[in-house]
Amino acid sequence: LGFPVFPNAQIPMPRDSGYTALTSGQQATEDTIRKGAANCAVCHGDPDGSGPITAPAQGDLILAQPLRHTCGSCHDDVNWGTPYTSNMQTMGSQASDGNCTLCHTQSTGPISVEGAHRHPLLDPTINPGLDIAVSTLAESGTNNGDGRIDPGEKVAITFTIQDSKGVDVDPSTLSSISTVISGPTNNYNLLLNDAIPVASLTGSPPFTVNVPQKVILDYVGDSTAALESFVTSRTPLWTPTSSLTSVQVRTATSGGSSTLSAAAVLPVNYVDVGDSTGFAHNDYVVLADGVMGSEEYLRIQQVDGNRLWFSSPASTTYAFGPQFAHAIGTTVKEVTLTTKTLTTDYTVNAATGTITEVTEFGATNAVLVSYTTDFVMPSTYPIAINGSPGLDQSSGKWTGLPLAAGTYTFGMWGQQNLTLALYGESNSYRNVSLSHNVDFLVGATSVIEPYDLISSGNNCQSCHQDISFHGGGRRGFDTCVLCHGTAGSEDRSQYVAANAPATPGTTVNFRTMLHKIHRGEDLAHAATYELVGFGSAAWPNNFGTSTYEDVAFPSFSQGVGNCATCHGKSAAWEDPAPRNHPDGQDVPTKSWGFTCGSCHDSDAAQAHIDVQTSATGNESCAVCHGPGRDLDVTLVHKVR
């Protein structure tokens, strides 16, 4: 059983002395132990009543009266009749409880009861806290000044970065500042997942910048035998003197070579080839070599049979997929790219996107530029996170459809890397802010409609105290929902190591994933529900299992069936709202099937859902389960 309280559940307590000398297996065991239940106040309450948890009737006794049988219930490797050595200190044998407070004081020192159980991320002397606050979001670049962000317009934001005491934080101390745009709020689809380069933030706060976007492998032309200039397809280029702008030149053609076995119809993040022999992860390829207006360059993320996957908006190091449609028979060739050096080989005019040769790149060599520029609101929805053909419009995925009018959400958060040296060991932590989310209007609409499928992200904290995943780099529901609330978002199996379990079409959208995880052991197929997640190995793996048969929702009233536990005052769960695109789509969205079927996953239940879905994709669920019907959702989930 895992203690589901963050940060302890996922981010371990500090290492004990001698950790680095352990074997990998011993370290894995120690890592599990360090994620144990150490946040005593969650159950006992805050002794002084200063925190968010009610003070216990017994006051500070949990800190002031350590006892052998109490402490030994967690620290079960202690034999009280023999000396015990840990972290370069030795405790003698203890015949009674009388000596405990001589060393384990209430709150002073690293082995005090309070100090030893305080997670570093909850200790203000180690983690000063981080808060990013967006004060304004407005149209930028060429725009019509109507207060909305329309296709073709840029987005300007003004924000501050401070610690938990309201003191300004130098942006250069941050390791990253992430930005996401999703919308509309009634059916989130991801538009942007990128980062603001910390090096670009200069001067005094508040900072005002356009929301950025990376462009990967922009083909700007072929070099000739004379020194010349090339112009990028997007402008301006952000901080070109840093690693944010790189120039690569094609210097060889060798390795894998094939042709498309199926047409590449946009938008898509893969191509199918007749023969994948010679192609591998990280290889650069050229499509339509030498064909004017169609030639383009990509980097392979994974070779899956005869399918070459490129990437998705979850990655910033790979081109997302072809930018041009390609017919069957189009050539696909592996190429070698050589990186050029700024000043030595070329100069950059950031405003105009002009790359000028200083040293000849080589006659006929293709020139490719990767850079950060201003995000421009698209006219159609891009590829979903880790999108594949495994999910279609029935999941709510609007890839390729026109941008719908409505309320969209911009989210922004940052993180600092923290290092804690203790007991001769080094510990790495992340000081991560919550996402500051700002809703804004797109298209012909005038009323902000916030995301309301749950009443508040604070509902999660009633059990978890906090939420932190992806190695501690994402924190809080408002951060998570920007990506995991998006329709058509999928597990990451096609982008990780080849030995990752296959999970085709497995969505990481919260309306499926969170229901399944919390349903846990009560799922009919708990043993086979598996996610690869962010990295390799099964995720979240915080509770010692790669599947979810050991996870139980700790509600004694009705378990996960008590929908209000998470949804709170929101009535969204009582009658799943339609998610169809306003301009029409080929297949209706299964508002009921994806949501209800995530918990009701038995073969019989799935067959029932299929039977109640017509050949055209329309659902009849509301006939029996709609408001006021005999099997109303609120009735069958009523707490008894």
DSSP string covering 371-416, please? EEEE-B--SB--PPTT--TTS-GGGT--TTSBPPPEEEEEEEEEEE
- The pLDDT of residue 497 is 58
Q: Which two tokens stand for residue 343?
A: 């000043």
d(CA 153, CA 80): 69
d(CA 304, CA 319): 17
- The pLDDT of residue 537 is 34
- The pLDDT of residue 558 is 60
pTM (predicted TM-score) = 0.93
Q: Which residue has the tokens 């809703």?
A: 439
Q: Where are the beta strands (DSSP E) in 237-316?
A: 246-259, 270-272, 284-287, 296-299, 302-304, 307-309
- The pLDDT of residue 499 is 59
In the chain, the amino acid numbered 177 is I
d(CA 81, CA 216): 65
- The pLDDT of residue 350 is 94
In terms of Cβ atoms closer than 10 Å to its own Cβ (0-12, 13-18, 19+), residue 522 is: middle
- The pLDDT of residue 538 is 35
- The pLDDT of residue 59 is 81
The tally of CA atoms less than 13 A away on the side-chain side of residue 355 is 34
- Distant-in-sequence, close-in-space partners of 628: CB < 8 Å, separation ≥ 6: none
- The pLDDT of residue 536 is 34
Give per-residue burial for 531-559: e unless 16+ CB within 10 Å, then b: bbbbeeebbbebbebebbeebebeeeeeb
Give per-residue burial for 398-409: e unless 16+ CB within 10 Å, then b: bbebbbbbbbbb
d(CA 518, CA 511): 11
- Distant-in-sequence, close-in-space partners of 76: CB < 8 Å, separation ≥ 6: none
Q: Which two tokens stand for residue 608?
A: 């029932």
d(CA 270, CA 267): 10
Contact between 401 and 585 (Cβ < 8 Å): yes
d(CA 576, CA 622): 9
Neighbours of 18 (CB within 10 A): 15
Q: Which two tokens stand for residue 636?
A: 């069958």
- The pLDDT of residue 539 is 34
- The pLDDT of residue 543 is 32
- The pLDDT of residue 540 is 39
- Distant-in-sequence, close-in-space partners of 129: CB < 8 Å, separation ≥ 6: 163, 164, 165, 431
Q: Which residues of the chain have pLDDT under 50?
A: 535-546, 556
Q: How far is CA 367 from CA 232, 432, 604, in A?
A: 10, 38, 57
Interhelix angle for 510-519 vs 477-484, to 10°? 120
